[in-house]
Amino acid sequence: MKTSFFLLVMIAVISCSAPAKETLKFTRDQYAGEWPFAVSEMEVYCSGYKEIYGKANNGKTYALNGSAKGASHNDPSISNVEEIWLDDPKFDGLKISYGDFITQGLTLCEEH
């Protein structure tokens, strides 16, 4: 009985001590600028060496900056952001910038 209790306590301590990945959540309704994606929510996080990813409310994760695109080039779990990146209605042939998502994501990299 004591052994079982001890194991349960140790599992709880270990699982609680794992660092949580810090994220920034953006939503279409609350975003101040022009929303650049065909999804309504994007949760941005930093991984590796300043790799910025966005997990969308469609369940897919997208590489947002060059570092993330290079690091995940052969990773089938990372989708191509061009799938959801919207055209800019004001300028024919251009896309709406999502640079703010990258800039904000980089602040997460600096905090670690």
pLDDT by residue (tens digit) across 30-59?
999 999 999 999 999 999 989 999 999 999
pLDDT tens by residue, 57-104: 999 999 999 999 999 999 999 999 999 999 999 999 999 999 999 999
- Phi and psi of 104, rounded to 5°? -65, -40
Q: Under a CB-based contact definition with an 8 Å cutoff, are residues 85 and 94 in contact?
A: no
Using alpha carbons, select from 89, 79, 68, 15 the residue that is nearest to residue 7. 15
- Secondary structure percentages of the chain, helix, strand, coil, to 5: 35, 25, 45
Q: What is the pTM of this model?
A: 0.80
